[in-house]
Amino acid sequence: MNKNAIIYVAGHRGLVGGAIVRQLEKAGYTNLVTRTSRELDLRDQAQVNEFFEAEQPEYVFLAAAKVGGILANDSYPAEFLYDNLMLEANVIHAAYKNGVKKLLFLGSTCIYPKHAPQPMPEDSLLTGPLEPTNEWYAVAKIAGIKLCQAYRRQYGCSFISAMPTNLYGIGDNFDLEKSHVMPALIRKMHEAKQAGAPSVKIWGTGTPLREFLFVDDCADACLFLMQNYDDAGIVNIGVGEDISIADLARLVAGVVGYAGELVFDTSKPDGTPRKLVDTSRINALGWRPTVSLEAGIRLTYDWYREQLDAAGVRGVG
């Protein structure tokens, strides 16, 4: 990618798309094209075709998707399947039709079977049943991977797919019903501290194991793959270490400065018991993350408080 190449970042207002834009700008790329979902609904094929014909992007980071935590995935199976299938099919097909030089599709580690070997290697894809709370989303993401591989095989398109582990960081969604666990814990602990509440509810048993990657590290990996990788095989992006949800809650409580009790609400789902990716493929290519879990939580908490401050919400403790 030369520095004035036309680069379309789909989903630039989201957690990952926002971080990709920050990385691209930091690296000196000057010709970024972005659209909000209001300006361009990627589920609409006519709008997508018109956009690609007009803008002629040379590179595409496909970070637009219908995304959410365990409860949102479990509650809205139709949208998680339909929206994601439509938008990725439209973007990938238009990228082929308009001669895009390279496209990076973002999947997720929930594409792997619920009981995949740990850490999960890329070749465990499609070797067993999926985790029921997110199978709709996972099926759409697997279809996106297969679209990239099909257009590469039939038409020689340089379309690649990356599978990031659970992400968090600046620009995250802090909605308590729809978010992932990290922003939910930060918000719950912060509000409990402000209110002097004696306890905080943590969903599930606290025993599931998850791996967390700071989003700017993920964006760095996306840029690295765009520049250094061109193959049909999918590539995991992760840190290679996991933590139980109970220990994560204790870590977040420490960063926020909340000393109350953690109560486990077992009426909420645990989801997959463990999700740790095998990162040997991306490590062998020469990429590693740089932000530790505790440092990443601190950066995210600082950013969250800045947002509250800017919105005039009491709670900067």
Ligand X SMILES: NC(=O)C1=CN([C@@H]2O[C@H](COP(=O)(O)OP(=O)(O)OC[C@H]3O[C@@H](n4cnc5c(N)ncnc54)[C@H](OP(=O)(O)O)[C@@H]3O)[C@@H](O)[C@H]2O)C=CC1
Q: Could you list the residues that contact ligand X (CB under 6 A)? A: 11, 13-17, 36-37, 40-43, 63-67, 83, 87, 106, 108, 164, 166-167, 173, 180
Please, are residues 145 and 111 in contact by the beta-carbon 8 Å criterion? yes
241-267 core/surface letters (b: 16 or more CB in 10 A; e: else): ebbebbebbebbbebbebeeebeeeee
- In the numeric block, the tokens 């990709």 are attached to 20
- Which of 208, 238, 289, 296 binds ligand F7E (CB under 6 A)? It is 208
Q: Considering beta carbons, is residue 42 or 253 the nearer one to ligand X?
A: 42
Q: Considering beta carbons, is residue 190 or 275 the nearer one to ligand X?
A: 275
- In the numeric block, the tokens 């992932």 are attached to 180
Task: Give me the least distance between CB of 64 and ligand X, in Å please.
Answer: 4
Q: Considering beta carbons, is residue 99 or 273 the nearer one to ligand F7E?
A: 273
In angstroms, the Cα distances linking 140 to 30, 74, 87, 237 are 32, 14, 10, 19
Q: Which does 41 bind (CB under 5 to 8 A by kind): ligand F7E, ligand X, none?
A: ligand X
Q: DSSP letter at 35?
A: -
Q: Tell me if residue 8 is catalytic.
A: no
Residue type for position 242: D
CA 213 – CA 8 distance, rounded (Å): 24
Name the active-site residue from 29, 112, 137, 151. Answer: 137
Q: Is the peptide bond before 57 cis (omega within 30 degrees of 0)?
A: no
For ligand F7E, the nearest residue by Cβ is 69
Choose among 199, 201, 180, 183: nearest CA to 271. 180
For ligand X, the nearest residue by Cβ is 14
Q: Which does 179 bind (CB under 5 to 8 A by kind): ligand X, ligand F7E, none?
A: ligand F7E
Task: Give me the least distance between CB of 45 and ligand F7E, in Å please.
Answer: 25
Position 68 contacts ligand F7E (CB under 6 A): yes
CA 133 – CA 84 distance, rounded (Å): 16
- Whether residue 180 is annotated as binding a ligand: the answer is yes
Query: What is the total count of residues that contact ligand F7E (CB under 6 A)?
Result: 23
- Whether residue 298 is annotated as binding a ligand: the answer is no
CA 170 – CA 303 distance, rounded (Å): 6
3-state secondary structure of 209: strand
- Whether residue 270 is annotated as binding a ligand: the answer is yes
- Whether residue 14 is annotated as binding a ligand: the answer is yes
Q: Which does 277 bind (CB under 5 to 8 A by kind): ligand F7E, ligand X, none?
A: none
Position 180 contacts ligand F7E (CB under 6 A): yes
Give me the phi and psi of 244, to 5 degrees please: -75, 155
> Residues in the site for ligand F7E, rule: CB under 6 A?
68-70, 73, 108, 110, 134, 137, 166, 179-181, 184, 202-204, 208, 210, 245, 268-271
> Mind telling me the catalytic residues?
137
